Amino acid sequence: MKLSQMLTKSEENFLWSGSNIQLKRFVDEALLLSGKWTSPVGDTKQFTNESVIIKWHGPSSKKLSVIKDDNSSVVDALSDLIVKKLAVNSSNTDDHVDTTTTTSKPNETCNTCDSRDAEIASLKEKIIEMNKVIVRLANRQNESESSKLNYAAAVSNSFEILEDETLSNESSNDISIQDSAESINNMTINTGTQPDTHPNQNTRTKQDEGKKDQNISTSAQRSQDQQDTLLIGDSMTKNINNDKLSYAAKAKTVCKTYRGGKIKDIHTNLRKDCGERRLRSIILHVGTNNLVPDDAKEAAKQMEDLIVEAKSKAENVAVSS
């Protein structure tokens, strides 16, 4: 608030509604007077210089008296300030009335309402479009989940075909090994029935036969090492009995279970379990833990890498569904 706004007039007396500090600033800045301030009694404040004495009787009475004014300049100045103040207040009041009158025109009010209606209609359209987007996203999510399940079913069918082919190959290998064993037995029987006409030659023959038996035994041991079968997978394989599985497969079979294992986990543990050995068969049961949380394409790529790794470790690879 301006200092001049605190100056008013009641009948013949000037009134000051501000504080004594504000009064000192008013005398200094508005009246351009310099002099000395004193407190004669109570809240009374008095300004004095050579030609002017002004007394303020305190905030209770607010009366401002000009005791001495040799040139009448102080009274004139105070009167002028009050006149200007009244003129400014009157102008502000007129502006306010005009503004109120202008803003209350019916046409402008209607235009404002129309503008609000247009904004509301626009917001409704945006909401409808957003709902359509939400529906499209939900449909895409359902399609994605459906495609994952279809892909999983296709992979499972492929694994079953591979498993059937592996079992067929195992049967063929068993027949081949059995035929080889019978041939070896026949060779041993025929050798034992030959007459001993040349002792030295017979000795060499026995030594050769010993070497042959040793080679056959070594080959059989290597064949036995290669006949090992590894079944590795997630928690679905936890209840498989190794002995019963070995009996059914007619070969030493080991089952390794990694609960909650995903494709990457089974891949890592396959390397550890196989080491440098060459197995006859590897059966994989994996992928169910990747269906929901993982991307279908990424899971398929991981599955391809796992099968390639398994083929490098065994003659036959099957995937159990």
pLDDT one-digit tens code per residue, 54-77: 999 999 888 998 988 888 888 888
Confidence of residue 49 (pLDDT cuts 50, 70, 90): very high
Mean pLDDT of the 78-86 span: 84
Confidence of residue 133 (pLDDT cuts 50, 70, 90): very high
Tokens standing for residue 49: 């210089």
Q: Residue 82's beta-bridge partner residues? A: none
Q: Which amino acid is it at 269?
A: N
Residues of the chain with CATH 3.30.310: 3-89
Distance CA 56, CA 33 (A): 15
Name the CATH superfamily, with its identifier, for domain 229-319. SGNH hydrolase (3.40.50.1110)
Q: H helices within 193-295, ranges in order?
A: 199-226, 242-249, 263-274
> Is the CB of residue 45 less than 8 Å from the CB of residue 56?
yes
Q: CATH number for the 3-89 domain, one of 3.30.10, 3.30.310, 3.80.10, 3.30.70?
A: 3.30.310
Q: Is the pTM of this model over 0.85?
A: no
Distance CA 302, CA 87 (A): 89
Confidence of residue 39 (pLDDT cuts 50, 70, 90): very high
Q: Are strands 253-257 and 279-285 parallel, antiparallel or unpaired?
A: unpaired
Mean pLDDT of the 278-294 span: 82
Which of 67-71, 156-160, 215-219 shows the lowest per-residue confidence on average (mean pLDDT)?
215-219
Mean pLDDT of the 290-298 span: 75
Compute how many other C-beta atoms are within 10 angstroms of the C-beta atom of residue 315: 16
Residues of the chain with CATH 3.40.50.1110: 229-319
Residue 203: predicted pLDDT: 52
Distance CA 171, CA 168 (A): 5
